[in-house]
Amino acid sequence: MAPPVALPDARPRGPLLVIAVVVITLIAMIPVFLLRPVPVLGSPLLLVLADGSIAATPLDATVPADFGPHCAQWEWDDRRGILTMETTAQVPDAGGLILQRYDPVSGGFTTLSGDFTRAQFLVQGTAWDLTSPVDRRVLALFDRQGANVTVDGTPHGPGDEWTMAFDYDAASPQGTVHIVEVVTFRNLGVVTPHLVPPAACM
């Protein structure tokens, strides 16, 4: 009688292979977490976001405007809740920041801004004003009270959202123009900015 033939091991190797891949991946990621740089943190700021439109009439007028630098030095990541700020953009004794994003809805504005994001800081001992990008007139008065911000006498706590409209006449090279701004604000409370080296600006 012929000796029995040995059958190959039929045990599945899939789970063992998956475990091996997971272990190797975890070991490979250890240096990434250990060598990841610790973020450099700046001084806490009361952050107010401002997003809105701006229009000028007559439409054929040339209107110089300051919509912020060509490359913004500040960025708010709404998903992660992180304010990133370049180290060269820090303002000594700053306690608050209005980060305003502009959307020109009419032509005629001339600006060097590329990101259309402008920052207005609250500096200790000075007024905290929202000013016009056209002639720097004061549009609204802001006042910090802890994590709250009072705007023209109305208090807004963290998480509050409100809309304001401003319309005014301003001078331009072609004469008087009428400016209309509609801005939605959001008080994000006190945040600690992450400071990063200045990025190349193209």
Contact residues for 40 (Cβ-Cβ < 8 A; gap 6+):
87, 194, 195, 196
Asked if residue 170 lies in contact with residue 57, where contact means CB atoms within 8 angstroms, the answer is no
Note the pLDDT tens digit of each residue in 3-47: 555 555 555 566 666 676 666 666 655 554 444 456 789 999 999
* 37 backbone dihedrals φ, ψ, rounded to 5°: -65, 140
CA 69, distance to chain mean position in Å, is 14
Q: Quick one: residue 38, left, alpha or beta (phi over 0 = left, psi -120 to 50 = alpha)?
A: beta
Residues 48-64 have a mean pLDDT of: 95
- pLDDT at 77 (0 to 100): 96
The C-alpha angle 52, 169, 59, rounded to 5 degrees, equals 70
Note the pLDDT tens digit of each residue in 123-176: 988 999 999 999 999 999 999 999 999 999 999 999 999 999 999 999 998 899
Cα separation of 6 and 84, whole Å? Answer: 66
Residues 67-82 have a mean pLDDT of: 95
- pLDDT at 8 (0 to 100): 52
Token pair, residue 182, equals 């509609």
Per-residue pLDDT for 79 more than 70? yes
Per-residue pLDDT for 182 more than 50? yes
Note the pLDDT tens digit of each residue in 97-124: 999 999 999 888 999 999 999 999 999 8
Q: Give residue limits of the domains in the chain.
A: 40-196
Q: Regarding predicted confidence, which is higher, 34 or 62?
A: 62
The total number of residues shown for the chain amounts to: 202
User: Cα Rg for the chain, rounded, in angstroms?
Assistant: 27
- pLDDT at 202 (0 to 100): 80
Q: Regarding predicted confidence, which is higher, 111 or 90?
A: 111
- 115-149 residues labelled b (16+ CB within 10 A) or e (exposed): bbbbbbbbeeeeebebbbbbbeeebbebebeeeeb
DSSP symbol at 15: H
